[in-house]
């Protein structure tokens, strides 16, 4: 099997591992901050173990090498996680994931404004379309709609994008070890606000499996993808989570999105898909030259 085929398979598998996250968060159906306390701690432990296996004794040096940029990444990632979990409880899976999915494009805009990176015309168009779709989702007037939850999802996307932009500002430094600190920060906030977590044995078992093993493994697999395939292809594969996440919740918990959310989501997904295809086509033409 060629490196490219292996990268496509591992990235796809990584995305599939992440897709039940929304289902677990909705199934737990308890205070978001108490979920966050356990989720953040387990994520930190899982990431620490996986990075420890990869880096061995070099892990402390890798953490220190992140410097102030890594601290910024940790703060943004931790705050984004807090907003994401709270948004999932307030606004539901479909709204949260659809709004959250625009973070790569927001990161591109931040890199253009801050780092002076070139922005393609189709990226600008995709951002405009995504913001229109998000505005439609946020404006939903259905009885079950939650404006605060939608705004928290948008804030989570912006904070995650800022984390990406900070990481891009130091391309020679691997800032992934800083995510351990970010996960611990989210756990501390969850414990401080929500108090001692109150989880039953079955809930704790599912959360340990998802946050302690499945999510860290998924993130590690996705992170390896860009080494052998283009970022545009990774972006297209990530759309699987945006489609599958709400689908699992819809099928198993009967949480159906409203027609307004579906229309706004269709605009967002169309813009993201078209952007990924155009970027992929351009990358392929450059490689053939």
Q: Which residue has the higher pLDDT, 150 or 196?
A: 150
Residue count of the chain: 289
Helix axes 259-288, 121-138, angle to 10 degrees: 170
Task: Give the torsion sign (CA, 173, 221, 279, 109).
Answer: negative
Higher-confidence position of 286 and 217: 217
Residues in Cβ contact with 183 at an 8 Å cutoff, skipping those fewer than 6 apart:
40, 41, 43, 44, 47, 77, 78, 81
The per-residue pLDDT for 138 is 81
Query: What is the model's pLDDT at position 185?
Result: 93
- Average pLDDT of the residues of the chain: 81
* Poorest-pLDDT segment among 13-27, 38-52, 84-98, 217-231: 217-231
Residue 283, pLDDT score: 63
Check whether 245 has a pLDDT greater than 80.
yes
d(CA 172, CA 165) in angstroms, rounded, equals 14
Looking at residue 68, what is its pLDDT?
87
Determine the pLDDT at residue 189: 92
Residue 155 scores a pLDDT above 90: yes
- d(C-alpha 38, C-alpha 187), whole Å: 7
- Between the alpha carbon of residue 112 and those of residues 119, 120, 166, 178, 265, the distances in Å are 6, 10, 12, 24, 25
Flag whether pLDDT at 5 surpasses 70. Answer: no
Per-residue model confidence (pLDDT) at position 236: 62
52 pLDDT exceeds 80? yes
What pTM was estimated for this model as a whole? 0.82
> What is the pLDDT, as a whole number, of residue 212?
87
Q: Compute CA distances 265 → 115, 228, 232, whole Å.
A: 30, 30, 20
Per-residue pLDDT tens for 164-198? 788 777 777 777 788 888 999 999 999 898 877 67
- Report the candidate in 279, 195, 268 with the shortest Cα–Cα distance to residue 231: 279
What are the tens digits of pLDDT across the range 120-145?
777 788 878 888 888 888 887 776 77
Interval 88-113: pLDDT, tens: 888 888 888 888 878 877 877 887 77
Mean pLDDT of 52-68: 83
Answer with the residue of higher pLDDT: 5 or 27: 27
pLDDT for 235 equals 60
């Amino acid at each position: 099997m060629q490196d490219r085929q292996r990268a496509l398979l591992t990235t796809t598998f990584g995305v599939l591992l992440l897709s039940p996250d929304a289902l677990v968060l909705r199934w737990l159906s308890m205070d978001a901050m108490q979920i966050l306390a356990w989720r953040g701690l387990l994520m930190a432990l899982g990431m620490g173990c996986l990075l420890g296996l990869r880096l061995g004794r070099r892990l402390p040096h890798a953490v220190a090498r992140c410097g102030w940029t890594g601290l910024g990444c940790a703060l943004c990632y931790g705050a984004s996680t807090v907003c994401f979990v709270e948004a999932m409880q307030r606004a539901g899976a479909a709204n949260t994931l659809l709004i959250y999915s625009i973070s790569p494009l927001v990161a591109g805009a931040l890199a253009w404004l801050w780092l002076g990176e070139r922005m393609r015309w189709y990226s600008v168009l995709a951002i405009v379309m995504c913001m229109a779709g998000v505005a439609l989702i946020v404006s939903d007037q259905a009885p079950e709609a939650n404006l605060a939850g939608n705004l928290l999802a948008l804030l989570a996307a912006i904070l995650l994008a800022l984390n990406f932009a900070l990481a891009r500002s130091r391309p020679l430094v691997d800032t992934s070890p800083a995510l351990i600190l970010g996960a611990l920060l989210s756990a501390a906030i969850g414990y401080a606000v929500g108090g001692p977590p109150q989880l039953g044995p079955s809930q704790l078992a599912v959360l340990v499996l998802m946050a302690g093993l499945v999510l860290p493994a998924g993130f590690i697999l996705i992170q390896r993808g860009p080494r052998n395939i283009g970022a545009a292809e990774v972006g297209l594969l990530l759309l699987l989570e945006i489609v599958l996440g709400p689908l699992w919740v819809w099928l198993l918990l009967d949480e159906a999105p409203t027609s307004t959310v579906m229309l706004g989501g269709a605009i967002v997904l169309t813009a993201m898909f078209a952007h990924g295809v155009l970027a992929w086509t351009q990358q392929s033409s450059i490689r053939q030259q």
